[in-house]
Structure 1
């Protein structure tokens, strides 16, 4: 079976934040001195998009954009008029699906009164709030600039502005956090009635302040107890788990992230943004990423220097790349999708599948890749079976 071009999304990276959090390993840069050149950055984003479309040719042209995601950094530092100008420019260059999901990440400590009305008018139809905790002590330990009261006020303000589709990010296994504390955060989130909750474990990532000076975190057994208890409470409240750390009301799963996990395509625009594109005619899957530092990205102004790296994913790497995403999904994926998205025959992964079944990490469902509960707990080991 040959490659079939999957849905195409658009990721837009906004690299600035008020202050770099000690656990964050994303490409984000705290504000220093003069405010960032927001308008010039939007110009550069559109020039970057033009250059990518010229480079990718028929592999990108004419394919409808199913979702747009403004990530960061803190995209809500950009005023609604900047977001509107980018979206208007992107629509002029690419067809957007009628039901295109457009998400903006926002920090509760950066949104001014009235901005939610502006984002809605600009076309943003989904907001994702980086709340992390409703415990003020934990927020200070995490280096967040908002309080629990700020978080609740921001969510309610967005709802008052007409937003229905909202995600709240929560973390657990925080410094000195108890099981009761983790559950209390989930209760506060549920009380705000979002459509989606992302609930993920704090981990110490390399090259972060926490990695250099590690806080005391709950051990693995306590972290697992928090995960199980919070999963159960979210399920009881009507939030179905569909990915390792994602829970949603019916029909409110994040389309953009689902496209990632199903090994879909996405154009990556902005400083440090990563993209993936399938060229069905050429039989290749290609990855491209952009220069990380905002200054060098701006100076490139859509020129070749904006590219930090580019090249095809080799057939030897494709099974691992695919499983790294697809096996995160709670319900798994059809086995035939592996061939459609990689161009490889299922026989290519037969030995790894046999090992996974023998260890009890995959369900024995003909024609489906579906992790067991044990496989979800040992997901990294399961995915590692598909390394070349």
Structure 2
């Protein structure tokens, strides 16, 4: 099985946050005392060194097209520490010209003037975890910022010269109606970010909301909210290019596009997941989740939570899990290039999905229909081995 090397990205996980939100199932840990932020950054670089050694044959000479600092709350780290990591990364890997570098930011953690520092450090895209502009909804979600603080943080970043900004919104919030969801979208668009992510709130296992579910809109109401907000975003100049992603022309998120197109990425940091295509096939690696254990490993073998080679029979599902989220779809040829499998591996499932009206009849493109988008989970499950 031979795969062509897809674009390479770098995901960097910063695990600490002020406090864990009740809906969050990410690897995030509320701050206790003073975390070892500087030591953590040096450990990230040691982790990268070890991964570059382990994946040397697969990664040699490949430039980094995007970097994404996720969390947790990466904006708890100072611009100097973010710059220290980026400088170290550039010493170890070539960066593509105009590589996208995104920093996730909680509006409640950003000190005035800090965005100038992030820009100087090499960050050129900020993603704000706003979630809502309704203070009552923010309280229900456990967020530490107010609607005013969120809007002010976005303006601060713009004033600092960062011209590529995402605003995360959630919908189908506790007791939210259509008018409230549309109001959130209007207030986000009024700030003129270049990108808006619009996610449905879901109850994930092992979260506070799963243990004590709040009253949420039913499926029909949630679908009506999604459709109305989708139309409003389109009218406001934000084209939908993925199930939950909307962008102004030319401002799609390069990092997430690489995920959705089954690209490669090194996962650096506590709990980070990575995917690398190499001589052994498609290899996934994940890191030790607990920050204390990750720090103690100091870049050694114990930093690794696990490794696996994706079985050939699982590749169609893994590929479709990402690619079918894209509204425009992907070229049919990408499937073979990214998985190393012949088109015949998905021929039967593809024919069934087309018969059901879930996937477009175009033989050169893998793309869901409007019906397929509504039943996306069913479409993806059709490719399970």
Deviation at 1:2, TM superposition (A): 3.5
- SS in structure 2 opposite 1:109? helix
After superposition, residues 271-310 of structure 1 pair within 5 angstroms as 271-279=270-278, 282=279, 284-310=281-307
CA–CA distance in structure 1, aligned partners of residues 135 and 72 of structure 2 = 22
Contact in 1 for aligned 2:170/2:201 (Cα 8 Å): yes
Partner of 2:29: 29
CA–CA distance in structure 1, aligned partners of residues 60 and 308 of structure 2 = 19
State the Cα deviation string for residues 244-289 of structure 1 (Å, max 9, x = none): 000000010000000000000000000000000011xx25110000
Partner of 2:10: 10
Partner of 1:58: 57
After superposition, residues 106-185 of structure 1 pair within 5 angstroms as 106-185=105-184
Partner of 1:355: 352
Deviation at 1:57, TM superposition (A): 1.2
After superposition, residues 181-330 of structure 1 pair within 5 angstroms as 181-279=180-278, 282=279, 284-330=281-327
Partner of 1:45: 44
- SS in structure 2 opposite 1:3? coil
Matched, 1:81 2:80: yes
Deviation at 1:340, TM superposition (A): 0.1
Deviation at 1:367, TM superposition (A): 1.5
Contact in 2 for aligned 1:200/1:245 (Cα 8 Å): yes
CA–CA distance in structure 2, aligned partners of residues 204 and 3 of structure 1 = 36
CA–CA distance in structure 2, aligned partners of residues 220 and 13 of structure 1 = 32
CA–CA distance in structure 2, aligned partners of residues 311 and 129 of structure 1 = 33
State the Cα deviation string for residues 164-200 of structure 1 (Å, max 9, x = none): 1000000000000010000000000000000000001
CA–CA distance in structure 2, aligned partners of residues 283 and 310 of structure 1 = 12
CA–CA distance in structure 1, aligned partners of residues 280 and 28 of structure 2 = 34
Q: 1:96 to 1:337 in 2, by over 3 A?
A: same
Partner of 1:335: 332
Contact in 1 for aligned 2:280/2:309 (Cα 8 Å): no
Q: TM-score, normalised by structure 1?
A: 0.99
State the Cα deviation string for residues 290-345 of structure 1 (Å, max 9, x = none): 00000000000000000001021110110000000000000001111000000000
Aligned-residue RMSD, C-alpha: 0.7
Partner of 2:103: 104
Kindly tell me the number of residue pairs found equivalent between the two proteins. 385
Moved over 6 A (4+): none
Partner of 1:368: 365
CA–CA distance in structure 1, aligned partners of residues 376 and 289 of structure 2 = 29
Contact in 2 for aligned 1:3/1:283 (Cα 8 Å): no
CA–CA distance in structure 2, aligned partners of residues 46 and 29 of structure 1 = 21
Structure 2 regions of 5+ residues with no counterpart?
Answer: none
State the Cα deviation string for residues 70-124 of structure 1 (Å, max 9, x = none): 0000000000000000000000000001110000000000000111000000000
CA–CA distance in structure 2, aligned partners of residues 2 and 334 of structure 1 = 18
- SS in structure 1 opposite 2:2? coil
- SS in structure 2 opposite 1:252? coil
Structure 1 regions of 5+ residues with no counterpart?
Answer: none
